[in-house]
Structure 1
Amino acid sequence: MRGFYYITDRKLSSKPDVDGVREAVEGGAAVVQYREKELDPVEKSEIAAEMKRICEGRAVFLINDNVDIALEVDADGVHLGQEDTPLAEARRLLGPDRIIGVTVHNVEEALAAEAGCADYVAASPIYATSTKEDAGEPAGLELIVDVKAAVKIPVAAIGGIDESNIDDVVSARADMACAISATVTKEDIRAAVEYFARKWTK
């Protein structure tokens, strides 16, 4: 897994999440994560199914912390936070072939995720972020470097990443990076994603 990692945010987005995902995929997003904590399960499932169709054969499609919906819409996998569904439980339900990513805040959590058969980890937060109130203190680029040195699975970077610091994130050898505010809030999400996606194709 390598490239730009697009995460939806209905409250921040300039347009409906499905439209944002369509533009993100057109812009070259390698991974799309549908993150929605509030809508009812039926509506979430319908939206996820449409996103899955958009991503089919073009981008990895993951659901944030909802194994049931991931299975229902045949998503490629799920992304889990430290307080979400336990990794072992998610793996048992999803089987060996679907992708599971885990947010980590230090090397210890990254090693535990790798030992638990996670497919990638998301090092967070690299910089100060406004999209997640409980993200914690920013750890800086050192977190990417340290986690990359500790694990063999891909490492995504998340938290406060934008146009001003993406080059530093890529230089720290992040396999993927998320830039929520710098993409979902834009009127032209495709162009915004394309800017970041190009960083892995140079």
Structure 2
Amino acid sequence: MKPNIDYSLYLVTDREVLADRELCAAVEEAIKGGVTAVQLREKCTNSAEFYEIASKVKAITDKHNIPLIINDRLDIALAVNAAGVHLGQQDLPAKLARELIGSDKILGVSAATLQEAKTAAEDGADYIGVGAVFPTLTKQDARAVSLEDLKQIKKSVSIPVVAIGGINENNVEGLKAANIDGIAVISCILGKSDVRAAAELMKKLVQV
């Protein structure tokens, strides 16, 4: 049965942001601080290493009953029995991914335009990651999405919309007018020396 996910504070991992700190420990601290979903994003690892990391992170997310989403790699998501997979516009087509993972897994799709968002919803996505809503350093090829674009996408699809891209404690308030279902964040939690406190702060800001 497909899990019912709270997307309000969606953590995307990036070990470069963590520097020399340990990923699993940081993820656990973030969850203790209020993170509601975790996406494991590994752009520079081979399949064996990705599988090993995913297995360790899933042990943490399972312990706290938090869904784990795997970025890009449908095979890894299935191998570790993650809650689902998140795909970009250059990855496997969402319609095909849905056929491969079945109806019980979560399928997220990145979108930067209204048409991409509508197509993702039609093709079986459970939620859409929309961005970049602010300038970001963690994704060099990110396309800019205005607040008006975000509002329009939210109004035009019936599935949850999660904003991503450069979101932090100083600008998150500006997204509330779009009535989105959650924010996906990296640096404003994992880039802080106290990950748990950073997560707690973001949790308060999204709940206000």
Q: TM-score, normalised by structure 2?
A: 0.92
Does residue 10 of structure 1 match 2:25? no
Pairing partner for 2:111 from 83, 96, 104: 104
Q: Which runs of structure 1 show a deviation greater than 6 angstroms over 4 or more consecutive aligned residues?
A: none
Aligned to 1:30: 36
CA RMSD of aligned residues (A): 1.3
Query: What is the aligned-residue identity percentage?
Result: 40
Give, in angstroms, the shift of residue 16 of structure 1: 2.1
What is the DSSP-based 3-state SS (H/G/I as helix, E as strand, rest coil) of the residue aligned with 2:16?
coil
Secondary structure of residue in 2 paired with 1:157? strand
Q: CA deviation at 1:32?
A: 0.3
Residue deviations 1:78-137 (CA, integer Å, cap 9, x gap): 01000012112211111011001001001100000000010000111111111111002x
Q: Structure 2: which 5+ runs fail to align?
A: 1-5
CA distance in 2, matches of 1:124, 1:75: 24
- Partner of 1:162, secondary structure, is coil
* 1:85 partnered with 2:92: yes
What number of residue pairs does the alignment pair up? 201
Asked if the contact 1:80–1:103 (Cα under 8 Å) also holds between the matched residues in 2, the reply is yes
Q: 3-state DSSP class of the match of 1:55?
A: helix
Q: Which residue of 2 aligns with 1:58?
A: 65
Q: Is the 8 A contact 2:172 2:206 kept in 1?
A: no
CA distance in 2, matches of 1:42, 1:130: 27
1:166 aligned to 2:172? yes
Comparing 40-49 with 30-39, which one deviates more in the overlay?
A: 40-49
Structure 1 residue 187 displacement after superposition = 1.3
Instruction: Report deviation, 1:169.
Output: 1.4
Cα deviation, 1:20-58, whole Å, max 9, x if unaligned, reads 211111111111000001112112111111111211253
Q: Equivalents in 2 of 1:64, 1:2: separation in Å?
A: 15
Tell me how far apart the structure 2 counterparts of residues 17 and 169 of structure 1 sit (CA, whole Å): 28
State the secondary structure of the residue aligned to 1:12: helix
What does residue 134 of structure 2 align with?
127
Partner AA of 1:68 in structure 2: D
Q: Which amino acid in the other structure matches residue 125 of structure 2? A: A
Structure 1 residues 91-100 or 165-174, which shifts more?
Answer: 165-174
SS in 1 for 2:110: strand
TM-score, L = length of structure 1: 0.94
Structure 1: give runs of 5+ residues left out of the alignment. none
Deviates more, 1:41-50 or 1:13-22: 13-22
